Amino acid sequence: MEARRKPLAKVEGRRRLRLSGLTVAWRGTPSLDDWVAYIVSTKSKKLILADHASERTVRNLMVRLQTMPKTEVEKIAKG
């Protein structure tokens, strides 16, 4: 009888940026480079900040975005 593997845990989160007022969401799997971070908007488009990145990259990006104005954050995003 084979032992079944437990599925990998997904991590999700959201944070509202202090200076710009934008809400950024992220999700991924610990220890895999499948993380994505994007700006949450009410419109149909999602502005992607990071895609297929590591957890460390997404966390460092979140720290940098805290002190940026809205125009700078949207400039970093790939639409």
- Domain borders along the chain are 11-76
The residues, any chain, with a CB within 8 Å of residue 19's CB and separated by 6 or more, are: 66, 67, 68, 69, 70
For tokens 């104005």, name the residue: 69
pLDDT at 64 over 80: yes
- Taking only the tens place, the pLDDT of each residue in 5-54 is 877 889 999 999 999 999 999 999 998 999 999 999 866 677 899 999 99
Q: Write down the pTM of the prediction.
A: 0.82
| pLDDT reported for residue 44 | 63
Give the Cα separation of 77 and 79 in Å (integer): 6
- Token pair recorded at residue 70: 């809205």
